[in-house]
Structure 1
Amino acid sequence: MTLTVVGAVVFGGLAAARGGDPALPAYLLVGAIGLVLALVDLACLRLPDPLVALAAGCGALGLLVAALVTGAAGGLLAALAGAALSFAGYALLAVLPGSRLGFGDVKLAAALGLPLGWLGWSALGLGLVLPHLLNGVVVLALLATRRVRRDTALPFGPAILAGAWLAVLLA
């Protein structure tokens, strides 16, 4: 039941925000794979490479089709730049001493940087910042309710996905 509601909110939000956009199928495909990735990360603190690659491939293919339909080749360059910038920023965060960010998170950020880059720099910026704000609120609530300790490992993939989703809605 909960997954059905979350899926309806994710797909309904994307359809409402990007309704006439030829890139909508790309967003819906990435959203569907993102739901699976979030469940996997919540269950076992892992973002499987094949699923992340599938999300990136579906996003890239959907954006390529949208670029062909609209003639917006510049959007593809912006999407690739968004993926590269997301990868570089998250890779830097992952190698910082004491970082709990895994390279699955880095690869997911790059995969989501494609559709965010397609929407523009403000969407990409939001998609890079919102996950940290969302995760901070969740962690503070979990710490306040004593459900976790400071050294408890928590998944970050769901926050990355939620932040990207919100950035698409706000773009």
Structure 2
Amino acid sequence: MSGGLVAYAALLGGLAGLAAPRVGRRWTARPASKRPGSATGSGALAGAAVGAVVFAGLAAARGDDPALPAFLGLAAFGLVLAVVDLACLRLPDPLVRAAALVVVGGLAGAALSIGAPERLFAAAAGAALSFAGYVLLALLPGSRLGFGDVKLAAVLGLPLGWLGWSPLALGLLLPHLLNGVVVLALLAAGRVRRDTPLPLGPALLAGAWLTVLTA
């Protein structure tokens, strides 16, 4: 994999992560602070670091995949979605729909470029299975899964289905393992209680990202 491509992707990811808190502010209830060194500025710097790592990882792992633009586009929206979900436990429909359009367009272009339109059926099947599975989880008694999580899972099912059935299964399982570890750590540290609502969106996104890296 070209080091230049990875470096360029890291730069793009840094810029996307830097912009994520500002873009996400539209959907959060917290007013923007304009003081230097404020939480907003710290969040932007943290987002830039996360974005650089996310984009560089995708470029290093999938640089020869024609679907890389779709993965990067989804990652850009994922950074904003994670910011919003962490701030106010929301996954806004406009952001989720825009992410879906970017992924569908990117995967369609990739399928045409390699002459394999059947890969789109696999992606669609991945989205449908993800949606159905998370709907069932959301309807379980006592479930705290929101339908924003269900919709995001369906969108993430598109690139996971593109990669195959094994990545799809891992991408569905891994977020819950990651979220479980985070919840246990927060409980042990006394930061949350058993009934404290916590966002699942970041775990869904992180699980999909790790799956794409290892597929």
Same fold flag (TM > 0.5): yes
Pairing 1:158–2:158 present: no
Where does residue 109 of structure 1 map in the other structure? 153
Question: What is the rounded CA distance, in whole Å, between the counterparts of 2:118 and 2:57 in structure 1?
Answer: 26
Using structure 1 for the length normalisation, give the TM-score: 0.99
Offset at 1:61? Answer: 0.5
2:54 to 2, 6, 10: 10
Where does residue 72 of structure 2 map in the other structure? 28
SS of 1:160's equivalent in the other structure is: helix
Question: What is the rounded CA distance, in whole Å, between the counterparts of 2:116 and 2:85 in structure 1?
Answer: 35
AA partner of residue 194 (structure 2) = R
User: RMSD of the TM alignment (CA)?
Assistant: 0.4
Q: Across the two proteins, how many residue pairs are aligned to each other? A: 171
SS of 1:40's equivalent in the other structure is: helix
Question: What is the rounded CA distance, in whole Å, between the counterparts of 2:51 and 2:175 in structure 1?
Answer: 19
Aligned ranges 1:1-171 → 2 under 5 Å: 1-171=45-215
Question: What is the rounded CA distance, in whole Å, between the counterparts of 1:32 and 1:41 in structure 2?
Answer: 15
SS of 2:51's equivalent in the other structure is: helix
Q: Larger Rg: 1 or 2?
A: 2
SS of 1:147's equivalent in the other structure is: coil
Structure 1 runs of 4+ aligned residues shifted over 2 Å read: none
AA partner of residue 11 (structure 1) = F
AA partner of residue 29 (structure 1) = G
Offset at 1:20? Answer: 1.1
**Whose RCO is larger (CA < 8 A, sep 6+)?**
1
Question: What is the rounded CA distance, in whole Å, between the counterparts of 1:68 and 1:141 in structure 2?
Answer: 45
